[in-house]
Structures are given as structure tokens and as C-alpha cells.
Structure 1
Amino acid sequence: MNPTRRLAPLSLIPAAALLLSGCSPAADGAAAEAGGIQVVASTNVYGSIAEAIGGDNIDLTNIIDSAAQDPHSYEASAQDQLAISKADVIVENGGGYDPFIDTLISAAGSDDVTVLTAVDLSGLLPEDEHAEDEHAEDEHAEDEHAHDHEAEGDDHGHVEGFNEHVWYDLATVDALAEELAHHFAELDPDNAATYDENYTAFADEIGTLTDTASAIKTDADGTGVAVTEPVPVYLLEASGLVNLTPDAFSEAIEEGTDVSPASLSELLDLIGSGDVSLLAYNEQTSSPETERVREAAEQESVPVVSFAETLPDGEDYVSWMTDNITAISDALDS
């Protein structure tokens, strides 16, 4: 699956069946002449990564830039639509996390924009899901109107059981940064060397984060942890930690459905068993059930480490992930 796509005019292709393709050389240099590459990111996490590569040469719009906004249920505004219509590059998570982006793209109907999808770049989507996506694209090639009203099988739809929070996977972030450098250079050849240098520096920082997580893994490999939601699981796994949370509990919290008494009881028993060395808590999706789990962890002296889905004020991606990894290490040492 090509993680970069060009958009055909809206009249030719529905949002649920957008095909991926390469970049059009005709667009090279156009963004620079217009006074900067117009970049739209679904969240400020991806905006920070784009800014690390593009610097002052991009004009960045983050649609989600507050902890009070939930990408899963965000309702786009006319201002968001205007930003998308002017974009040269759009960065989204995909995997059903930020579906409002595809809605905005479809409405814009632009044929001159590059869309980078982190889930596609991650390589983490199960192979059978990729196979289904490719089959859907083949079917579309035979009859472009066959799937006008079908969202299932689209590579940006939610995949049950898949953890779409791929910005917590450092390899994915590195791959996205490299793609950004490549596309920025195509759009603005005069500053290609700058984008390459920025990517090299950013990749070095991601390498340092990866090494730090690996150092934790050396001592903590196999250590059990619990989560209220799977948001930070990729980073926890990179640190050698094993998520023991009942799937039914974390899935219910993530999807906003009722938590069954059985799954809550199972997690509370796990917290009290001594098999959990920390609780990863998503502050942005708290509920009576997650608060109860947090209270149980505190009563059992299990360290609680808070994670988020958007950047804290004053942080960039690297400083934020540095703080997250430090918090994991400190919790395990406590």
C-alpha cells in the first residue's frame, strides 16, 4: 500500500475509495512560489513532526490542537474546510482515528494535494487488512462507482482490534518524517537540502528516544502493565512492557461503550494481584470506570503514568516523547 496519495476530482472518486498514487511533478515549486508550503495536520502531534522538517518554510494548520478536542468525534468547521482546500500536504493518522480529515478532503475535491497517512506508513496494520484494501482498490478500478456508498474496506476506516495510535511508535514517526522531507523537497526544490538536514537531525533524535526505550527494555523486559486505553501501548512495548489489560475493558473505554462489570472486575483484580508495575492512564478519556481503576492502583501503590493524545502546551514531539519515556522509567524504578 502506497502511504502517499493524490486526490482526483470529487466527481470522479468517492471519499471511501480514494486511491493512492505518486506525486505530480507539475506541482514542484508551486508551493514555494506561493509563499510557503501549506500543510494541514489532523492533530498538533503530526503538526509538530511536520514543523520539525519544514521549519519556517511551511505554513502549518493543526485542526486538533487542544486536549479538549477528541479526534474520534470531532466535527469540522468551515475554517477547517478552507484550510484543507488550500493545502499542499495533509498529514493524517488514518485507521479510523481522524475520519473528519477524509470528509474534508472529499468535500474539497482537490486534485493537487499530497496526503500522508501514518497508519499506512507504519506497516503495523495486519496483512489481511492490507489484502482486503488492495482487493477493494482492484474492484474500484473495474467499476469506479461500485463502492460509492461503502465505507467498509476503506484503508482509513476503523479496524477492530488494531491500535491506531501509531504516533507512539517511533519507527512510524521516523518514516513519516522522511516522507515529509521528500515531499517538501519536491514542492520546494530550492530548500531541498534544508529539509534533508532537518530530517537527519530529527531522525537522530528519534534514534536517541529508541535507544532510551531499549535501555529500559534491558532491565524491564516482560514486566506487566495495565492501561485504561491502548493509546501508549506501542511505546510501552518498545520499553519491554507487556499489556495485561483485558481487551474488553480498554476497547469499551476507547469506543465509548459500556464497560461490562466482568471486565472491570477482571482489571481491578489484576491491579490487586501484584502483577502490574504501572497503570498507563489516558487523561483525555476519563470515566467513572477509569477513575475507579486509577483509585485502585493508587491504593495498591501501583504508579500511575498519564499519557495524552495531543501535545502538552509548550512541547514538541521529541520533548514530549522524552518526558513520556522518562515517566515510564521513573515509574518502574519507584
Structure 2
Amino acid sequence: MRKVLATVLIAVFGVVVAGCADDSTRTTDHPAVVASTDVWAAVARAVGGEHADVTALFNSPGADPHEFEPSMADTAKIEDADVLVFNGGHYDAYVETAASSSAAVQVNATRLAGGEDDDHGHDDHGHEGHGHEGHDHGTNEHVFYDLPVVARVADATADALAKLAPMHAQYYRDRAAAFDAGIADLRGRLAALKAQHDGTEVAATEPLAAYLLTAAGLVDVAPAAFTAAVENGQAPSAADVAAFGDLITGRDIAVLIYNTQAVDPATRSVLDLARSNAIPVVDMTESLPAGVTDYLLWQSAQIDRLEAALAR
């Protein structure tokens, strides 16, 4: 009986110890990474390669990521992830809400950009704030267009994966370094544009690519009320549409930057006006276009179009 009792106690004790193990010490040879959008998934995949399983919650090229509503299955994926890679802020607040009880390592791009305090609580990201009407316009939340920040996300993802799968640590860091080199090439192209076109005025229908345009030395002179309305999913006023139109008909801008995923009658009207007045139009997207899975190729193609438009 004593031997039986001892065996039972040892077994129970072992279960208790295992149940109390520190999640920070867990390891796996194939971490599960969940990204809020296909853009952040592309960054994570560039780092994780064949030694990570990367899933994007939002991957609909024709839709607006701001309006994405996660399903129960999406929430379960967040809760079960080893690593979460997401934009942060109000852009995809549902990730932090769902991850409040998760042990996943969180790679928050907005925090890496310095847009949030590191002790920003989960309670500040209620689900009701992730739609357009919850935006904080003090900071441009489209940090996936801020190339230095994207490189930081890649490095942070490599660090997170290396801790979870130390047997592949060098693999992750080498891939992050290669990705960072690609980012440096893109930044070099933007610097070359700035050297040639610094101060050139353009107009964007929505402040999607503000970080990229600034790096290229371009000045967005679109009416602020127009772009704010579009970003908030509202109709710009007739006066704001007219003011935008005057920039085009007066040929006061060199290029129209058009967000193809934030479209309404007002944006279509300025697009048609730009085309009829031979103003070059550069389409930019908020997620990866259909058939594109590589972040660097996506941004390179957009910079290609910008270079061509400015050269006209």
C-alpha cells in the first residue's frame, strides 16, 4: 500500500509541477505565428521560413482591413498562437483583446514605432475601438509603410522565434538580416527620389502611405478634411471635394496617390478628374494584392510606380 500510495503521490506531484511550469520556458521546433493581416504575415513569413507556421487573419485584397471582424475561429487562433505579429493601436485592437489571457509573445509594430507606451493595458483596446470611428488621428496608424519600423518588427519576430525554437535561432536571425537588407534597398530608392524630387507636392486620397511619401521627400497637400473623412469611412463635404478638384485642375500636384481599398464616390470623382487632366495616378494598397505574398516585392512594385509617375 505504501508503495502504491507513493507512486500515486509522485504521479500527482509530477502533474502539478508540469501544470505550474513557466510558459516562458516552453520550446517548440515549429512555432505557430498568427498575424493580424497578410502584410504582417508576409514579414513574419520572411523571418520564419520553413521553421514557422504563419497564419494571416485578414487576407482579402478587395476589402478594408479597418472593417475586419474576427470570427470565433480567428479568436481561437490568437489564443493558441506562440507568437502574435500585429499593427497595434486601434488598427487591429481585437488581437490584444483576444490575447489578454494568452501566453503568446506579442510583436506590436506600433509600440516598436514608439506610438504606444509599453505598459499600455489590454483594457485600452476594447473591440469597439477598432473600426474607423475609433481611430486616434494623432498618429498615423499605417506603420507597415514605415520601413524602419517594419525592419524592427522583423528583428523582434526573429528574437521571439529564437526563444521558442532555439535550435533554429541562427536561421531566423539570418533571414531577418536578409529581410533588413531588402528594406535598406527600398529606403535607398526612396532617398534617391528625395534627392531628385524633394518638396514635390502630391495629393493622397487617404493618409495610407504618409511614411513612405515623407521618406521620398514628397509633400501631401490633399485637403486634410477630405482625407480624414475617407479614413473615417465618411463622405467628404462638397467643399472638400471641390478643393481637391482645384488641386488637380490647377495642376498643383505632380501625382495622385490613390488608396484602392478606401473608395467612395468622392475618391472616384478625384480619380476620374486626375485621369482626365493627365495627372499620374499611383495606386497603393492597404494589404497585399492578389497573388502577392512577399512584403519587399509589394513595396518595391509600389515604389516602381511612384518613380515612374514622378519621372513623367
- Shorter-chain TM-score bucket reads 0.7 to 0.9
2:234 alignment partner in structure 1? 257
2:109 alignment partner in structure 1? 118
1:50 alignment partner in structure 2? 44
1:282/1:306 contact within 8 Å kept: yes
SS of residue matched to 2:193:
helix
RMSD of the TM alignment (CA)?
2.5
SS of residue matched to 1:284:
coil
Matched, 1:200 2:191: no
Can you list the C-alpha shifts for 1:185-237, whole angstroms capped at 9, x where unaligned? 11111111111111111111111000011111110000000011111111111
1:235 alignment partner in structure 2? 212
Q: 1:67 to 1:151 in 2, by over 3 A?
A: same
Using the TM superposition, give the Cα deviation of residue 28 of structure 1 relative to its aligned residue in structure 2, in angstroms: 4.0
Q: 1:148 to 1:239 in 2, by over 3 A?
A: closer
1: CA distance, partners of 2:190 / 2:33: 30
Matched, 1:30 2:7: no
Using the TM superposition, give the Cα deviation of residue 70 of structure 1 relative to its aligned residue in structure 2, in angstroms: 2.5
Alignment of 1:272-283 (within 5 A): 272-283=249-260
SS of residue matched to 1:116:
strand
2:12 alignment partner in structure 1? none
Can you list the C-alpha shifts for 1:291-324, whole angstroms capped at 9, x where unaligned? 1000111121110110111112332100011101
Q: 5+ unaligned residues in a row in structure 2: which ranges?
A: 1-20
SS of residue matched to 1:95:
coil
2:162 alignment partner in structure 1? 185
Using the TM superposition, give the Cα deviation of residue 155 of structure 1 relative to its aligned residue in structure 2, in angstroms: 12
Residue correspondences, number: 288
**Percent pairwise identity:** 38
Q: In structure 1, what residue type is equivalent to 2:66? A: H
1:25/1:186 contact within 8 Å kept: no
Q: In structure 2, what residue type is equivalent to 1:325? A: I
Q: 1:69 to 1:299 in 2, by over 3 A?
A: closer
2: CA distance, partners of 1:197 / 1:59: 18
Can you list the C-alpha shifts for 1:75-108, whole angstroms capped at 9, x where unaligned? 11122122112101111111211122233224xx
1: CA distance, partners of 2:267 / 2:218: 20
Q: In structure 2, what residue type is equivalent to 1:258? A: A
1: CA distance, partners of 2:32 / 2:125: 31
Out of 301, 304, 308, the residue aligned to residue 323 of structure 1 is: 301
Structure with the largest fraction of helix: 2
Alignment of 1:86-125 (within 5 A): 86-106=80-100, 109-110=101-102, 112-123=103-114, 125=115
Q: In structure 2, what residue type is equivalent to 1:184? A: L
Can you list the C-alpha shifts for 1:23-60, whole angstroms capped at 9, x where unaligned? x985345232xxx1010000010000001111011111
Using the TM superposition, give the Cα deviation of residue 149 of structure 1 relative to its aligned residue in structure 2, in angstroms: 8.4
1:41 alignment partner in structure 2? 35
Can you list the C-alpha shifts for 1:94-151, whole angstroms capped at 9, x where unaligned? 1211122233224xx22x111111111113x3xxxx5xx57x86xx8xxxxxx96895
Matched, 1:73 2:67: yes
1:37/1:187 contact within 8 Å kept: yes
Can you list the C-alpha shifts for 1:254-299, whole angstroms capped at 9, x where unaligned? 1111311121111111112222010010111111100100011112
2:65/2:287 contact within 8 Å kept: no
Alignment of 1:134-173 (within 5 A): 158-173=135-150
2: CA distance, partners of 1:25 / 1:326: 48
1:279/1:297 contact within 8 Å kept: yes
Q: 1:211 to 1:317 in 2, by over 3 A?
A: same
1:311 alignment partner in structure 2? 288
Matched, 1:211 2:209: no
